[in-house]
Chains A and B, each alone.
Chain A
């Protein structure tokens, strides 16, 4: 009995702590909400990887992620969430921007990240004629903006036109040396975002890792290009395939409504349990509150990203969590009618209801795990809240309710 009182104090103390952690007024940390609640934009880019070997896909995608992250951060948008997704054969970049107003600007800014590449002449012996320069065909090489260390603005000493000086990193320097050796006395084209901006002819093997773009740009254009190149060139080309924007106002309205609905649903459950099961129903409601506190604490601590569908799933799991207690109460009722004491009947009830509770909840957890691993982020939030909710409900329905009934249910005490 004393052990139970200590446990009960621990549970209640824990409940107070969890409440303080969850309640916004006492806690700095906020829940992590999905796009449909915080408002903002999700951009999904498809990466074009056909120029690099499969072994490098992963590092190329991470490079891409870093570059875009730097770009977005530079523009002052707070906490972008950028993730690499591999779906079948496709590699995607998912960019989540919270609460921004000017999506167009954001998209342009990301899209403007230059894709710099060097292209060599296609093996075509007839194409060396000067008159045919317009028809020259180039093929991509492995030298891209990925290997760039920095870019600088400079001026051509003879024409005094602005030029952009490029300095490759050590790996880029090596590649550039080989490329110039291979293409000696042949043109080597510099492409920016798929357009040739300069097609110099290689006069010597360059081992210093320096290259120069002497296009026909103005000083301002050259300066912008330098800036953009230094902020990071994309290692692979990308294009936007999907966009979602939700206004933060709509999102916060939705959150308010779903919270209110959830609260009323919860109150409805408690009233129902008290009407049907009386004092025991009240005790089950107490453990339901503990269930709510534990789940929300886990959601906040991990954190689990809460979407509207995820919250709906969680509110639904509250209803299902009561099921374990209803099962126990109904099983106990059978025993009680057979003429044993109330507490003894409950002990039997817990024991007999266990297989049904275990099997039904494990099936739910199996489904949730499969959903988590086989679906996209849209459904993942729901799967995670469902799995956590179910696991927590087993614990609270069995252990916490039993503790409440053992300690708080009046009745004949066999051994005080």
Chain B
């Protein structure tokens, strides 16, 4: 049996490094916001010999006063161009011009979003996040209201939220790294990924805390660290099995799924791993340190 509580300093160091480097990465590199958030155009085209003509098209677009243009090649060999938001007339004119130069060109996707919509999306996301946190706090405080071992319910809920923030930070940092090195943009899928991680993180922490509470009730005479250790080893297999069954479909989606959801899926994989780790190691260690004198 691994003595988790005895080794908790290791977990604090790991999580400390993860949090500090996440904050560092996010504040220095920031996120690469996609058209959903900051407004702009996204144009996906299918052209034969896409790799040889991509720069030519990008130069042409940039020369047609659409602003800074970036190009990305998708897994399917399509080209994605991103530039400022343009009108429908301009879009049609560019399409006609390009079709004259490349007769086999096929338009796959075009999005042009004004900056107003993006601002709303950000505002709504922040609100939704805060409300979810509040909702979970309230529910857990209610559901865990029967106190064992003199541990009040608000401590469980606050720690569950703390782990949630820890996991979310790591996922946001992963997006910052992907944006920096692979030009991956953050779009509305990003919200979905964050929310999933949020749900998974809390889900996992609750399962572990439920086990701790059950053991606190059954073995009220034993010291807290023994009880927490026992609970971790009892939920360890379940936590690993569940994260595996969750990661299987995600891996399949990453390997076989459409290009547009790859970033979303990768973020979820990272979130599931972070969630499993934080619920087993961090949530339990913090619960111990906060209550070891409160018997």
A residues whose Cβ falls under 8 Å from a Cβ of B: 36, 44, 46, 87-88, 90, 103-104, 107, 240-247, 249-250, 253-254, 257-258, 260-262, 264-266, 268-269, 272-273, 276, 308-309, 312-313, 315-316, 318-320, 322-323, 326-327, 330, 334, 352, 355-356, 358-364, 366-368, 370-371, 374-376, 378-379, 382-383, 386
Partner of B188, one of A104, A366, A378: A378
The CA of A379 and the CA of B187, in the complex, are separated in Å by 11
Nearest to B248 among chain A residues (CB) is: A268
Digitize B108-141: 1 where CB-to-A-CB distance is under 8 Å, 0 elsewhere: 1111111011001100110110011001100110
| Contact of A319 with B189 in the complex, beta carbons under 8 Å | no
The CA of A383 and the CA of B124, in the complex, are separated in Å by 14
Q: Which residues of A contact B117 (CB under 8 A)?
A: 44, 241-242
Q: Which residues of B contact A352 (CB under 8 A)?
A: 214
The contact sample of 26 A-B pairs, CB cut-off 8 A, is: A46-B116, A88-B120, A242-B111, A246-B109, A247-B108, A250-B108, A258-B261, A264-B256, A265-B249, A268-B252, A269-B245, A269-B249, A309-B188, A312-B192, A312-B264, A316-B268, A320-B200, A334-B234, A356-B206, A356-B207, A359-B210, A363-B140, A363-B199, A366-B136, A367-B202, A371-B132
The CA of A318 and the CA of B245, in the complex, are separated in Å by 8
The CA of A245 and the CA of B110, in the complex, are separated in Å by 5
Report the minimal beta-carbon distance from B205 to chain A, rounded to whole angstroms: 9
Partner of A260, one of B109, B199, B206, B256: B256
Q: Which residues of B contact A246 (CB under 8 A)?
A: 108-109
Q: Which residues of A contact B251 (CB under 8 A)?
A: 265, 268
Report the minimal beta-carbon distance from A86 to chain B, rounded to whole angstroms: 11
| Contact of B114 with A242 in the complex, beta carbons under 8 Å | yes
Given A322-B245, A376-B124, 5 other A-B residues pairs in contact with their CB atoms under 8 A: A103-B88, A247-B107, A272-B244, A313-B192, A366-B136
Nearest to B256 among chain A residues (CB) is: A261
The CA of A65 and the CA of B247, in the complex, are separated in Å by 44
| Contact of A261 with B139 in the complex, beta carbons under 8 Å | no
Q: Which residues of A contact B242 (CB under 8 A)?
A: 319-320, 322-323, 326-327
Q: Which residues of A contact B91 (CB under 8 A)?
A: 104
The CA of A89 and the CA of B245, in the complex, are separated in Å by 44
Report the minimal beta-carbon distance from B99 to chain A, rounded to whole angstroms: 13
Q: Which residues of B contact A103 (CB under 8 A)?
A: 88, 110
Q: Which residues of A contact B136 (CB under 8 A)?
A: 363, 366-367
| Contact of B88 with A243 in the complex, beta carbons under 8 Å | yes
Q: Which residues of B contact A383 (CB under 8 A)?
A: 195
| Contact of A316 with B249 in the complex, beta carbons under 8 Å | yes
| Contact of A87 with B120 in the complex, beta carbons under 8 Å | yes
Partner of B245, one of A87, A104, A326: A326
| Contact of A241 with B116 in the complex, beta carbons under 8 Å | yes
| Contact of B128 with A370 in the complex, beta carbons under 8 Å | yes
The CA of A360 and the CA of B164, in the complex, are separated in Å by 13
Q: Which residues of B contact A316 (CB under 8 A)?
A: 196, 246, 249-250, 268
Nearest to A381 among chain B residues (CB) is: B192
B186-231: which residues lie under 8 A (CB-CB) from chain A?
A: 188-189, 191-192, 195-196, 198-200, 202-204, 206-207, 210-211, 214
Q: Which residues of B contact A268 (CB under 8 A)?
A: 248-249, 251-252
Q: Which residues of B contact A362 (CB under 8 A)?
A: 139, 143
The CA of A119 and the CA of B253, in the complex, are separated in Å by 59
Report the minimal beta-carbon distance from A251 to chain B, rounded to whole angstroms: 9
Nearest to A382 among chain B residues (CB) is: B192
Q: Which residues of A contact B135 (CB under 8 A)?
A: 363, 366-367, 370
| Contact of A330 with B110 in the complex, beta carbons under 8 Å | no
Partner of B128, one of A312, A360, A371: A371
Q: Which residues of B contact A355 (CB under 8 A)?
A: 143, 210, 214
Report the minimal beta-carbon distance from A16 to chain B, rounded to whole angstroms: 25
| Contact of B257 with A374 in the complex, beta carbons under 8 Å | no
Report the minimal beta-carbon distance from B223 to chain A, rounded to whole angstroms: 21
| Contact of A315 with B106 in the complex, beta carbons under 8 Å | no
Report the minimal beta-carbon distance from B181 to chain A, rounded to whole angstroms: 24
Q: Which residues of B contact A309 (CB under 8 A)?
A: 188-189, 192, 261, 264
| Contact of A262 with B195 in the complex, beta carbons under 8 Å | no
Nearest to B121 among chain A residues (CB) is: A376
Cβ-closest 8 pairs across A and B: A265-B249, A319-B246, A254-B258, A268-B248, A356-B210, A265-B252, A261-B256, A241-B114
Q: Which residues of B contact A378 (CB under 8 A)?
A: 36, 121, 188, 191
| Contact of B92 with A244 in the complex, beta carbons under 8 Å | no
Q: Which residues of B contact A107 (CB under 8 A)?
A: 88
| Contact of B214 with A327 in the complex, beta carbons under 8 Å | no
Q: Which residues of A contact B210 (CB under 8 A)?
A: 355-356, 359
Report the minimal beta-carbon distance from A269 to chain B, rounded to whole angstroms: 5
Indicate whether B265 reaches chain A with its CB closer than 8 angstroms: yes
